[in-house]
A and B are shown apart, each in its own frame.
Chain A
């Protein structure tokens, strides 16, 4: 029992940045990102409590957490499109960082918002592959899709992000 609690503590400390970044890339804003990341860890905790010690040891934590996070996002955004307009710079950074940090932060937020506009299947593929830098095999596993499908979705997603026309019969 105590073992699970310590294990979870380590899990959170080790993966909090990656899962938060994932949430940001998938939802497009920091508020939702924190909610998604919190939800992900809480679900992970509820699952960990029920796992046997062997199962916990063999867990591929990174892939497992990514899978949970993708599902959290899928469940919450079902039918709700992320809103863009009010997000740019609406949340000032806590504390007064150097100006370039603020600029950097705004750029990141803008990019996240752009990524969040992609249709879900492209967004998930692109984010896991190029933001989180998982291998194609890991992405396929996290999304529960064949590798070929993932590759195609990443390709199409990137194309849209680069601003190329996505209605040119490629689909």
Chain B
């Protein structure tokens, strides 16, 4: 009789297999994996969970990335070998071919709305901060938009560099300062000199004579027009008075 009891007790002393806790935490979505990837922007640390890419940062060391991630996102982080498939997807994302899934849990609903809206800005185009604020239904929250973009945990991937000040100042950039922002925008084909010249002369919109539609400078629909076929406007009222309607794609004003 005693032996059965002792044996049963031994059965209770069994240990969970190695890595069990990590697997459970990963399944519950509480552990992210990360790796260092070589990209067109140089080496970037990228973290992802079951739901998608959760963070990306150019950091001097893995330790600093882990510390930053723990502070900003709050989940555990495990370094793994870079999966080949993800490396290809990252290339596609950065070259604008295909979009990755993102994991934005842990951010406020407002910050999530800002970042999701930012994802809609196409490569080679820029928008002012006020545009994001208006599009997500908080037209007065321009500064809050700036804060949310400054704290973007996935710069480059979620293109916060495509949001610029309407006065033509490039603005600061969490992913490596104004210089980096300038560099990435140039890489994406934005004509910064033209953009800044327009902004400095107070011209916020460009209209195309043939279509009588006005757009944000850099809008896709204005790209093929010749420079002499543009007219420029200070504001919406001026454009409308001249008989122009807002572009339905870049939405410089509510149509």
Report B1-18 residues with CB < 8 Å from chain A CB: 1, 4-5, 7-18
**A5, A115, A162: residue with the most chain B Cβ atoms closer than 10 Å:** A5
Compute how far the CA of A19 lies from the CA of B17 in the bound complex, rounded to whole angstroms. 12
Contact A38-B27, Cβ < 8 Å, known A24-B11, A111-B8:
yes
A30 and B17 contact, CB distance less than 8 A: yes
A1 CB contacts on chain B under 8 angstroms: 106
Q: A45-B28, A161-B4 are in contact. Are A38 and B23 (CB under 8 A)?
A: yes
Q: Report A101 CB to chain B, min CB distance, Å.
A: 11
Which residues on the B side are within 8 Å of A19 (C-beta)? Answer: 16
Picked from B4, B9, B30, the residue with its CB within 8 Å of the CB of A9 is: B30
- List, in ascending order, chain B residues with CB within 8 A of A94's CB: 17-18
A106 to B135, CA, bound (A): 64
- Per the bound structure, the CA–CA distance linking A68 and B23 in Å amounts to 19
Beta-carbon contact of B11 and A112 below 8 Å? yes
Q: Do A41 and B11 touch across chains, with their CB atoms under 8 A apart?
A: no
Task: Select the residue from A21, A42, A158 with max chain B CB neighbours within 10 A.
Answer: A21
On chain B, the residues within 8 Å of A133 by CB distance are: 9, 12
Given contacts A130-B8, A131-B8, contact A20 B25 (CB under 8 A): no
| Interfacial residues of chain B within 94-145, with CB under 8 A of chain A in the complex | 106
For A158, give its contact among B4, B25, B27 (CB under 8 Å).
Answer: B4
Q: How large is the interface on B (under 10, 10 to 19, 20 to 34, 35 or more residues)?
A: 20 to 34
The residue from B5, B17, B18, B24 contacting A12, defined by CB atoms under 8 A apart: B24
- Asked if A142 CB lies within 8 Å of chain B CBs, one says no
Contact, CB under 8 Å: A108 / B17 = no
Q: Is A13 an interface residue (CB 8 A)?
A: yes
- A114 — nearest CB in chain B belongs to which residue? B7
CB-nearest residue of chain B to A131: B12
Taking the complex as formed, is B254 at the interface, i.e. its CB lies under 8 A from any CB of chain A?
no
CB atoms of B16 and A9 under 8 A apart: no
The yes or no answer to A2 lying at the interface (CB within 8 A) is yes
Interface residues on A, range: 35 or more
Contact B9 A41 (CB under 8 A): no
The answer to whether A132 and B21 touch across the interface, beta carbons within 8 angstroms, is: no
Residue pair B20, A115 in contact (C-beta under 8 Å): no
Bound together, the chains give a CA A130 to CA B7 distance in angstroms of: 9
**A25 is an interface residue with CB less than 8 A from chain B:** yes
Q: Is the CB of B21 within 8 A of A24?
A: no
- Report whether B24 and A38 are in contact in the complex, using a CB–CB cutoff of 8 Å: yes
In the bound assembly, the distance between CA atoms of A26 and B152 in angstroms comes to 47
Do A25 and B17 touch (CB < 8 A)? no
CB-based nearest B residue for A2: B74
CB distance from B148 to the nearest CB of A (A): 18
Minimal Cβ-Cβ distance residue in A for B27: A42
Q: Which residues A24-76 have CB closer than 8 A to chain B?
A: 24-25, 30, 34, 37-38, 41-42, 45
Asked if B212 lies at the interface with its beta carbon under 8 angstroms from chain A, I say: no
With the chains together, A13 CA to B31 CA distance in Å?
14
Give Cα A140 to B92, complex, Å. 58
Residues of chain B within 8 A (CB-CB) of A111 are 7-8, 10-11
Q: How far is the CA of A108 from the CA of B106 in the complex (A)?
A: 43
A interface residue numbers (CB < 8 A to B): 1-2, 5, 8-9, 12-13, 16-21, 24-25, 30, 34, 37-38, 41-42, 45, 94, 107-108, 111-112, 115, 126-127, 130-133, 158, 161-162
For the complex with contacts A5-B30, A21-B13, 9 further pairs of A-B residues with Cβ separation under 8 Å are: A8-B28, A12-B25, A37-B16, A37-B24, A107-B7, A112-B11, A127-B8, A130-B5, A130-B12
18 contacts between A and B (CB under 8 A): A1-B106, A5-B75, A12-B21, A13-B21, A16-B20, A19-B16, A20-B16, A34-B16, A38-B24, A38-B27, A41-B24, A94-B17, A111-B8, A115-B11, A126-B8, A130-B8, A158-B4, A158-B5
